[in-house]
């Protein structure tokens, strides 16, 4: 078996955090599935790189040149997502709806508008029309009620841009409340995308700002500790009384998904956010380079996520004593994440418009 298949055997699914048309028209995604990839995720930044930095979409842009750039992008994205969903459908069927998903994000321009997010998600769900689609909704203040309403309506939701325990708790409870209202909660699948490496990047910078030997010795620990704290809360919610009735009726728990798992600091182990976050009923969505690195020299550390969970909570709680406002860091990371995706979306539309005019 491959290392990715070994991860699946110990309870973690690996999804591919990248999409581009040439991996859908050739055997690329099929080959990835054969090695153990169990799903695909996308976001505005990924689509920006795929469409703006290649000529793979130029012919279709030419055929749609009378449309507005946003309409052209949606047509391109829906075609890619639909093709990926069809390739992954055997995984979805064989796993009884546990894996085989592809994610498509609502417009990042709607991150602070609940009703518009709900409408956009419903429209995308209908347009793709595949049971193994997950619609990505950001875990903003406006996104949380949208996640509940969309879950209640029977949509599969990938709740994204979570950086803190409070973000995670809000998303998990939104899923549970939505599932309790759904006509058939047993058909639901959902993940809570908890971002990892960006937490270390920001916390390390703050620790370097403090500058003491003790502060510097804490670098590279916050992200994994933060993830373990969130997973501990997952266990409390989904393995405890709050979810018990839904679980007994056959409803799936909302899995925690580790996102932003490429290592930003070259001094750190380049697969640390894979090796140290392996646990039951989790997902790791990683970019191609990280997956290649893990296959090359990574180690499958079964249940590494469960090690030193109490110490992880103690570490996060101790950061204010060093002068680190961790809550402010994670709050800023979500704000910046929303803005980053909105900027990528704007840049993408500009690139499409330029291609359209050139054509």
| Catalytic residue list | 136
Long-range pairs for 178-183 at CB < 8 Å and ≥24 separation? Answer: 178/147, 178/148, 178/149, 178/150, 178/151, 178/152, 179/151, 179/152, 179/246, 179/251, 180/246, 181/148, 181/151, 181/152, 182/151, 182/152, 182/153, 182/154, 183/154
| Alpha carbon distance 273, 117 (integer Å) | 31
| Alpha carbon distance 266, 309 (integer Å) | 26
Contact (CB, 8 A) for 59 and 107? no
With H, G, I as helix, E, B as strand and everything else as coil, classify residue 253.
coil
Burial class (CB in 10 A: 0-12, 13-18, 19+), 297: exposed
| Alpha carbon distance 277, 283 (integer Å) | 9
């Amino acid at each position: 078996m491959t290392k990715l298949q070994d991860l699946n055997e110990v309870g973690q699914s690996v999804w591919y955090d990248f999409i581009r048309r040439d991996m859908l028209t050739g055997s690329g995604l099929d080959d990835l599935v054969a090695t153990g990839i169990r799903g695909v995720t996308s976001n505005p930044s990924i689509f920006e790189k795929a469409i703006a930095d290649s000529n793979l979409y130029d012919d279709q842009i030419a055929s749609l040149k009378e449309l507005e750039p946003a309409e052209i992008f949606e047509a391109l994205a829906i075609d890619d997502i639909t093709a990926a969903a069809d390739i992954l459908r055997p995984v979805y069927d064989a796993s009884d709806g546990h894996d085989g998903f592809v994610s498509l994000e609502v417009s990042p321009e709607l991150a602070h508008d609940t009703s518009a997010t709900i409408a956009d998600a419903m429209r995308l769900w209908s347009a793709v029309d595949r049971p193994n689609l997950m619609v990505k909704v950001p875990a903003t203040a406006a996104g949380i009620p949208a996640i509940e309403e969309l879950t209640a309506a029977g949509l599969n939701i990938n709740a994204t841009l979570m950086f803190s325990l409070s973000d995670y708790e809000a998303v998990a409870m939104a899923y549970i409340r939505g599932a309790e209202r759904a006509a058939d909660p047993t058909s639901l699948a959902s993940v809570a995308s908890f971002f990892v490496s960006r937490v270390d990047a920001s916390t390390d910078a703050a620790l370097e700002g403090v500058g003491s030997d003790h502060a510097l010795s804490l670098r590279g620990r916050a992200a994994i500790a933060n993830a373990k704290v969130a997973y501990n809360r997952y266990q409390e919610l989904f393995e405890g009384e709050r979810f018990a009735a839904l679980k007994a009726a056959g409803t799936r728990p909302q899995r925690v998904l580790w996102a932003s798992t490429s290592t930003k600091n070259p001094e750190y182990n380049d697969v640390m956010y894979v090796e140290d976050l392996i646990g039951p009923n989790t997902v790791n969505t990683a970019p191609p380079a990280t997956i290649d690195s893990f296959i090359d020299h990574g180690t499958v550390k079964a249940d590494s996520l469960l090690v030193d969970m109490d110490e992880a909570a103690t570490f996060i709680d101790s950061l204010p004593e060093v002068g680190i406002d961790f809550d402010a860091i994670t709050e800023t990371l979500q704000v910046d994440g929303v803005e980053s995706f909105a900027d990528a979306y704007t840049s993408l539309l500009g690139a499409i418009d330029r291609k359209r005019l050139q054509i």
